[in-house]
Structure 1
């Protein structure tokens, strides 16, 4: 308790550093020389054609049409619009085909799902099958994956196994963030917005003039929202909730003495302080998945403490040597994060009521806990050699090393006093190394093949200590795993015409063993490695004189020994288990159309069918009086079969739409209207199916109206997010009562941006 109190009493120096960086960015226009006019980032070079999209999904710059994989890129104005209202990385959910993101930790600990394939585990040592790579460095721990998105050249979402070229768990896919790199051009931008709930978003970046062979770039973001939810419990320990202060900085320095050598250094940090995820007791109407009558998102009923903080720092060094016929890359990364999140898990203040619960704030029993992490550090190192000579053969290969260790603490509190009742510490050390190689060969000018191979060795050491005398030690308090696996992929691309490519790909993926330490409610659990094999065919085409672009794919995958997490339930456990297998198949589509010069339309969508395939797998019902819709296992009165259920948080349908209409003025300026919409169909929150815990479909739309002048140098806009104010339960707690949490309500505001 003293350690925690000390941790929160100290004011992190990063907050002051972020503010100083932001002020420096604000002051930059006065220091920079005139950079001339700047065009909007998404403006095509030819106003009558779509802009060429380049990606680095396979570790080198390529035209997106040439890459035999389902890849979607978000950049430029679209990225700015989606990120304008102070949301965290969950704003990407549904914005590309087959992507869903949710969190029971709020702005920290996002959980990613691609093609329905993800992990609902909420513990701090959870592993996920979707890898997030930020500036070429993998962010393995889920807490690291919440780093803010600002000053980005683009975000790429690569679907399907990527186990050949990327360093960690990637059987479902990769989400790749790439920052804008430094340059010697004296340029930058500043964006400021303000909206309801006191929402403020300040973001800026600038290249810093340096002499000689050096260049640098400084970037910063400050996000704030007032506490907008009032706690209606007079004796509650937290008065208002759901506010936050989230600050992040990035400093980059590039040394480039000649064309055959460059060194890019990156330092970044984040400081977050605000509310933990707000759980709301008895908000789901029994027997349905509707919100209870009279539900008000601006009111809560909780008697516990709700707070969240996160302090993270990291850095990287990316070195490149041109050695004639080959190029050598070295990528060194370091990350450290210290999170703390405490919440009233039951979400209520009235206990012992008669089920079914119909009054908000009513729960079976109090449950208040926190999660924190100490001693975290992640070190990664990659050496990659690639061919640098022209010709039909291109190749790359290298070595990768990973080392992460930390102690995760789970603390329970006595709600009546607010004092810690006890804790469980889980120490985990995870080391891995891999050797990999990939070859591209142009068989003819129209037909190319690619193949990759990777060997991975992964090792985990886990140990649990606790202050509880009744810790469940039935399955031990230590574990050691050691897994090795070969993975491969093979693909081919055929140019039907100059504008249209067909491709086919088969790939395998691997996720190493996972361990969850013992708790008071369940013994230690372990899941063995899972392996996926994926098949995909697709088409990519520019047509209508490059006024339209289409990419579409059909895929099918099978995961053997799928790692699943049974969350909650009658005994409030978080247990790992393996299903014999799971299957997924579907279609994905992206379409961009420029029907007239002033109108750009994008449409995306996906169909995902996922199923758990294990007739022997069953789980007990929830612990909060839900209405089960699965069948009881033969001969059992307590356990329900989950065979045939969809994967959790795996919507069958995802769709998105954007449209931008430009109205030029005689003076050469521009008015514009921009709208964006994202839809996902219903989802299961848990492995079993229950009426209360089947999340309704969700549609969120945005509208932006703006004016751009001085050749794109200045922009002012008004915006609305979740314009229809559709409120849905997006996650639940099933061990106590019908507790849930919701999406953000309607937000709106104004924004000013200048490019200099």
Structure 2
């Protein structure tokens, strides 16, 4: 879509939302019965204080309550959020342990256990930095909030794309809780519950304990070994305990202790499930069959403690301190080639399809410790001025071991090993202020200074294929940056807000070295983003419709990109001088008639790498690359169109990826849900359906025919009875149309892909009190 056409469409979205909001006459014509259909207000902490989401000049989507429960039904992990909010994508090549998130196209395809990501996940005020922390199970939450665009002022580093916030239900003054259990396809079992109450007669203490258990039997056969129901099972539990102490009338202390255990199969890589010259899963694909001669498993443990202290200094002045400690370990091993044998063993000794060589490897985080501290002061006395200021520190220590294995030898012995260790230290000072110029016009701005330092040491103890030992090699990188934002918002009426915002975001430098297969350490400089956004937030028809829309554009300087896979299945960091993105987002929620609730969201994201010439390697798997090849001919760079003839005497360098869209960044994302209830004696009968659309997607930096997926819809359905006494019984189906689609690929050995979850169903019963 051309820039001019897209901008017209973006402006149209804003104008439409604004004109829909300006319908006071219709609102006045509604009778008093509409009060029962008025949408409840949505509270957000996007600016670190509780506010109505409609009053905040930030592009926000909130997922909570029944919608959240339905999306994660049947044992789903955090990737269920993909395409369930405008501009949000989630995927993983590790399975349940290592999610990668993208917002407005900004993300990182890096599968390294030391990877830095430009989308931050914040759990109860604590940012989870390493990707193995980010997959913490979703249960007993007030809401999940998606904040799009740079959030560098109040949330700090590594937020160029935005953040996703997870806020747990806190202890309260009354006894309450719930329990629910489900059983479904492949003997999938899920049990979730929570209970909270006061401790003692006084209001000085309260607690809440919540937990989740998820289990699924394996259902994928290994046709190579003849073992049935060998893969795709999991068993996971997570628990959270909270204690709230009201030490004084002016001081609250909240202790949060949590943990997770995940024993499952690693991601199943499926050899040659893509037909040459086409996209999507091939004609011979079978969800329930693979051909593995290597091992596959994943084990993960994570634990943490959060302490939050809130103290009222005086009327209008509040002090908050948040301490976070997280520790984790993970070990994952997989059959990377996705098949068995190797071509050099002769016909009939490899497959499915052509397997040039065997590949099996593992990665382990032997120890991860993350410690964060934040202290901030906030002022709001109900007047025209509000501000926040604070200090934040981050420290992470990490130890990683990578191994490769000789799959074709008896016992599959280790034939390569490298260890890495590193530490990241970051300190920042921030401040933000809002000033009401008039009763309707507010000006806001903020800034954050960050100083970040990283050290890294890597050593290869065993080299595969006779490559020998190497190292230790040490490196150090660091940078400092001032992030900032300025916004203006105007209340057109009590129900309509328009706003504009300019924001700067920052991701610190990165350093990596996977010396099992490579010989070098790669470094990427800091990445910065300058983002522009304008939007409207509105409610109309007497509160029965809520419609929000915005347009945005951004420029990334020194975007951190990662070469993954390729001919050697290596990871290498580099920077693109400049990249750009623009688009629009819209959310709507409506209760048009009694007992019917509809939500919908849509986004358009156009992304482009803008370097004049940026060379990256292509696939090692015989794919059809659509980018021009680049050769060095006596010091002159020569581009050759796809299918062209290589220049005589030229040295092949790679492919020019300039002009390509970002990987895993579909232009179009959409979602819609609907819930309808029929009141009956003692409760209601209800039906709920949800659908998500993910547009055409490329998986790698280069464009190819095979390594991507066309646009597709996935949906779910739940129907049940909900009683006035708290009982809820239902049946549900996920992936109701049984879509079979690629969600990612490996490009160095063969046309390997990994896929979505199959259609599943289940029954669930719950009780809330």
Fold match, TM over 0.5?
yes
The answer to whether 1:337 aligns with 2:334 is no
Mean CA deviation greater in 476-485 or 576-585 = 476-485
Compute the displacement of 1:292 (Å): 2.2
Would the aligned equivalents of 2:86 and 2:602 in 1 still touch at CA under 8 Å?
A: yes
2-structure distance, mates of 1:588, 1:252:
36
Q: 1:702 aligns with which of 700, 716, 732?
A: 716
Would the aligned equivalents of 1:631 and 1:641 in 2 still touch at CA under 8 Å?
A: yes
Q: 2:732 aligns with which of 719, 735, 753?
A: 719
Match for residue 633 of structure 2?
none
Change (3 A) 1:122 1:132: same
2-structure distance, mates of 1:684, 1:586:
18
| SS class of match (2:518) | coil
2-structure distance, mates of 1:712, 1:410:
54
1:84-124 superposed Cα distances (whole Å, 9 cap, x missing partner): 11110000100000000000000011000000000001011
1:342-362 superposed Cα distances (whole Å, 9 cap, x missing partner): 00011100421799x996364
Match for residue 48 of structure 1?
37
Compute the displacement of 1:234 (Å): 2.0
Change (3 A) 1:604 1:206: same
1-structure distance, mates of 2:502, 2:382:
27
1:50-80 superposed Cα distances (whole Å, 9 cap, x missing partner): 1111100010001111100100000111011
The answer to whether 1:659 aligns with 2:656 is no
Match for residue 67 of structure 2?
78
Runs of 4+ aligned residues of structure 1 deviating over 3 Å after TM superposition are 469-476
Q: 2:235 aligns with which of 245, 249, 274?
A: 245
What pairs up with 1:292-691 in 2 under 5 angstroms? 292-324=282-314, 325-352=316-343, 360=352, 362-416=354-408, 417-469=411-463, 477-519=473-515, 520-633=517-630, 635=638, 637=646, 638=652, 639-665=654-680, 667-691=681-705
Compute the displacement of 1:438 (Å): 0.2
Q: 1:168 aligns with which of 139, 157, 165?
A: 157
Would the aligned equivalents of 2:235 and 2:264 in 1 still touch at CA under 8 Å?
A: yes
Match for residue 8 of structure 2?
none
1-structure distance, mates of 2:394, 2:657:
35
1:167-216 superposed Cα distances (whole Å, 9 cap, x missing partner): 43111100000000011311100011110111111100001441141110
Would the aligned equivalents of 1:522 and 1:573 in 2 still touch at CA under 8 Å?
A: no
Mean CA deviation greater in 46-55 or 589-598 = 46-55
- Structure 2, unaligned stretches of length 5 or more? 1-32, 631-636, 640-645, 647-651
Would the aligned equivalents of 1:403 and 1:430 in 2 still touch at CA under 8 Å?
A: yes
1:642-680 superposed Cα distances (whole Å, 9 cap, x missing partner): 011000000100000000011111x24100110000001
| SS class of match (1:570) | helix
Would the aligned equivalents of 1:477 and 1:518 in 2 still touch at CA under 8 Å?
A: no
RMSD of Structure 2 on Structure 1 (CA):
1.9
1-structure distance, mates of 2:726, 2:235:
29
Would the aligned equivalents of 2:440 and 2:491 in 1 still touch at CA under 8 Å?
A: yes
1:501-555 superposed Cα distances (whole Å, 9 cap, x missing partner): 1000000001110001152324111000011000000000000111100000000
Would the aligned equivalents of 1:350 and 1:362 in 2 still touch at CA under 8 Å?
A: no
2-structure distance, mates of 1:631, 1:647:
17
Change (3 A) 1:679 1:692: same
Compute the displacement of 1:295 (Å): 1.2
1-structure distance, mates of 2:113, 2:357:
25
Compute the displacement of 1:471 (Å): 6.1
2-structure distance, mates of 1:183, 1:746:
39
Would the aligned equivalents of 2:663 and 2:697 in 1 still touch at CA under 8 Å?
A: yes
Change (3 A) 1:85 1:551: same
Match for residue 30 of structure 1?
none
Q: Aligned residue pairs: how many?
A: 709
2-structure distance, mates of 1:471, 1:396:
55
Match for residue 269 of structure 1?
259
Change (3 A) 1:449 1:472: farther
| SS class of match (1:79) | helix
Would the aligned equivalents of 2:181 and 2:765 in 1 still touch at CA under 8 Å?
A: yes
Would the aligned equivalents of 1:260 and 1:323 in 2 still touch at CA under 8 Å?
A: yes
The answer to whether 1:66 aligns with 2:55 is yes
Mean CA deviation greater in 469-478 or 48-57 = 469-478
Compute the displacement of 1:388 (Å): 3.8
1:392-432 superposed Cα distances (whole Å, 9 cap, x missing partner): 00000000000000111111111132222221111110000
Would the aligned equivalents of 2:378 and 2:388 in 1 still touch at CA under 8 Å?
A: yes
What pairs up with 1:118-133 in 2 under 5 angstroms? 118-133=107-122
1-structure distance, mates of 2:469, 2:500:
49
| SS class of match (2:750) | coil
Compute the displacement of 1:243 (Å): 0.2
Compute the displacement of 1:302 (Å): 0.7
Would the aligned equivalents of 1:102 and 1:110 in 2 still touch at CA under 8 Å?
A: yes
Would the aligned equivalents of 2:457 and 2:472 in 1 still touch at CA under 8 Å?
A: no
The answer to whether 1:150 aligns with 2:164 is no
1-structure distance, mates of 2:528, 2:377:
27
What pairs up with 1:277-288 in 2 under 5 angstroms? 277-288=267-278
| SS class of match (2:493) | coil
The answer to whether 1:220 aligns with 2:205 is no
Match for residue 766 of structure 2?
753
Change (3 A) 1:376 1:474: closer
Would the aligned equivalents of 1:473 and 1:518 in 2 still touch at CA under 8 Å?
A: no
Compute the displacement of 1:46 (Å): 4.4
| SS class of match (1:596) | coil
Would the aligned equivalents of 2:326 and 2:371 in 1 still touch at CA under 8 Å?
A: yes
2-structure distance, mates of 1:194, 1:473:
51
Would the aligned equivalents of 1:474 and 1:523 in 2 still touch at CA under 8 Å?
A: no
| SS class of match (1:591) | strand
2-structure distance, mates of 1:555, 1:573:
34
1-structure distance, mates of 2:225, 2:449:
59
| SS class of match (2:592) | strand
| SS class of match (1:595) | coil
- Structure 1, unaligned stretches of length 5 or more? 1-43
Would the aligned equivalents of 2:266 and 2:332 in 1 still touch at CA under 8 Å?
A: yes
1:199-251 superposed Cα distances (whole Å, 9 cap, x missing partner): 11110000144114111000000000100101101278x96000000100000
| SS class of match (1:146) | coil
1-structure distance, mates of 2:245, 2:307:
11
Would the aligned equivalents of 1:284 and 1:292 in 2 still touch at CA under 8 Å?
A: yes
Change (3 A) 1:414 1:386: same
What pairs up with 1:16-31 in 2 under 5 angstroms? none
